[in-house]
Amino acid sequence: MLTLRDAAPLAPAGRPEEAPGEAWDAWVAAHGFGHFLQSDAWARVRASAGWSVLRLVVEEADRPGQAPVAGIQVLLKSTPAGKFAYAPRGPVCAPDHPAWPLLRDGLRRRLRRSVALRLEPGWPDGAHTRAVLAGAGLREAPPVQPPSTVVLDLTATEERLLASMAQKCRYNVRLAERRGVEVYVGGPEDLATFEQLLAATARRHGLSQRRAGYHAAVAAAFGPAARLYGARVLGVVVAMILVVRFGGVATYLYGASSGEHADHMPNHALQWRAIVDARQAGCRRYDFWGVPDALGRHVVAGGRAEDVPEGEGGLWGVWRFKRGFGGSVERTVGAWDDVYAPVRYALAERLLPRVRRLWGRR
């Protein structure tokens, strides 16, 4: 028999001294549907921006002290329209697991005064997973996290990874080595430089910027699992990336460059170093985190990513860079909303995007 409970005091049997957040992260990381966006570390990052957290787990009632069979971490934020709930890459269970209806109903009871819950499961996109969500009364919604991505299989040898690259990408990796690009692992003292490069990148491409200190908060929350890499050319740092390792997956989250010495290919050198390090650390996958969603949708429909006509703007520029490293395009099922207050939900759908656009222009 399965039972549902709040997971705030979650701690492993026999180790009561372990912090609940550490126990939660260990469980999520070991689960097949675990993801860093369901981690306690990520909840602490979002808490610094005013979000609170709700966690539920499903356990087998006749096996007390055993690890949960499923769970979910939900982030909550108050808005002028009311409280919204959001579960990136949740729930932590398979779509066919009998725990999913328990989690769904438990969330509805606890969030009934909220406007809506947006789920972005880590479930692969397809007719079956869509039927599971639609059958539960959820509606498809605009995604917050990128549903489509490129993933490298790190169980291959380094030689195989190099061979699977596009010829031009492999040439650029070796060119960076020949031209003496120095790649190093940074520490907290390098975060200020990273923020400066991010600001320069945003100005150069006309992008919005994260609040000051955001990336430092990510690095601090994940600790040693967050790897900051820098590339120097002639002693000057010209590019940096932040990679998070969690549950056997290394995810390239953020990158920035000054634009100087681009002909030395520092960005290729950074990615290759992060890939090699992740493989040597035992990671099984390297997630490039975000490509145009048209690619993922086309692959899910049975096509090939390379057959999709390239667009302009958005993620198309990063796709041209990321695809050179090989790997395969994958897509999760995207975002789905469970609506509790239809009138306020409709109002928020109309007004909140306008508020965000106005704030962005300010």
Number of Cβ within 10 Å of residue 77's Cβ equals: 14
Of the candidates 1, 72, 21, the one whose C-alpha atom is nearest the C-alpha of residue 12 is: 21
pLDDT for the residue numbered 288: 98
pLDDT for the residue numbered 352: 66
244-294 pLDDT, tens digit each:
999 999 999 999 999 999 999 999 999 999 999 999 999 999 999 999 999
Q: Which domains does the chain have, with CATH numbers?
A: 2-145+333-361 (3.40.630.30), 148-331 (3.40.630.30)
198 membership: H or E segment, kind and range: helix 191-205
pLDDT for the residue numbered 19: 59
DSSP-based helix, strand, coil % in the chain, nearest 5:
40, 25, 35
CA distance 73 to 86: 9
CA distance 346 to 81: 10
pLDDT for the residue numbered 15: 46
The dihedral over CA atoms of 124, 128, 129, 133, expressed in degrees to the nearest 10, equals 170
Q: What is the pTM of this model?
A: 0.92
| Cis status, amide bond into 91, omega within 30 of 0 | yes
Amino acid (one-letter) located at 71? G
Tokens of residue 225, six digits: 């699992």
Encode the chain (362 residues) as per-residue pLDDT tens digits: 899 998 864 444 444 444 568 889 999 999 999 999 999 999 999 998 899 999 999 999 887 778 899 999 999 999 888 999 999 999 999 999 999 999 999 999 999 999 999 999 999 999 999 999 999 999 999 999 999 999 999 999 999 999 999 999 999 999 999 999 999 999 999 999 999 999 888 887 776 777 778 888 999 999 999 999 999 999 999 999 999 999 999 999 999 999 999 999 999 999 999 999 999 999 999 999 999 999 999 999 999 999 999 888 888 989 999 999 999 999 999 999 999 999 999 988 887 666 555 444 44
55-101 pLDDT, tens digit each:
999 999 887 778 899 999 999 999 888 999 999 999 999 999 999 99
**Positive or negative, the Cα torsion across 346, 349, 350, 351?**
positive
DSSP class per residue in 87-147: EET--BS-TT-THHHHHHHHHHHHTTTSSEEEEE--PBPSHHHHHHHHHTT-EEE--SS-S
Answer for the pair 277, 308: CB distance below 8 angstroms, yes or no: no
Measured at the alpha carbon of residue 295, what is the angle toward residues 294 and 299, in degrees to the nearest 5?
A: 115
pLDDT for the residue numbered 349: 83
